[in-house]
Amino acid sequence: MRTIVKFALETAMRRGEILNMEWKAISLKRRILQIPLTKTDTPRTIPLSLRARELLLALPGKDGKVFPIAADSVSQAFRRACKRVDIDNLRFHDLRHEATSRLFEMGLSPVEVATITGHRDTRMLMRYTHLKAEDLAKKLG
């Protein structure tokens, strides 16, 4: 579960996309992942951060599904983990929200972030951002 959570935070991928990943769609050398099935029915290629690549390299086996786990099992394990550390009202999908915000904090443009996350509508993408006025002030000089 820990690896799935870390991977979600590195890639901004949806739970279903992560669980449908197959090793044959990953190029660790090029640091990319092909996602043929997405919520929007639009295949996309996701760049993998160095950390995401490290997480994948540490996994056993390199054949078939990367995470051969049922979606419901992941959701239940996530809820139990949150409960253990007294975190209320956090859903797995909130990791996508956080990851998208982090991409903006890294300085990526909306077009770059949308390419990674698969958002086709920038209005929908912007609801994932939590830009801080202090950070924007620093950019302004």
Q: Which residues pair with 45 in a beta bridge?
A: 34
SS3 44: strand
Q: Is-catalytic flag, 97?
A: no
Which residue in this structure is represented by tokens 């300085």? 107
Q: Is-catalytic flag, 44?
A: no
Of 80, 83, 91, 93, the active-site residue reads: 93
Query: Residues 8, 99: contact at Cβ < 8 Å?
Result: yes
Q: Is-catalytic flag, 93?
A: yes
Q: DSSP secondary structure string, 47-59?
A: EPPHHHHHHHHTS
Would residue 87 be called left, alpha or beta, if left means φ above 0 and alpha means ψ between -120 and 50 degrees? beta
Closest Cα to residue 78, out of 122, 135, 15? Answer: 15
Of 2, 15, 24, 39, the active-site residue reads: 39
Burial of 134 (0-12, 13-18, 19+ CB in 10 A): exposed
Of 2, 30, 91, 119, the active-site residue reads: 119
Active site residues: 14, 39, 93, 96, 119, 128
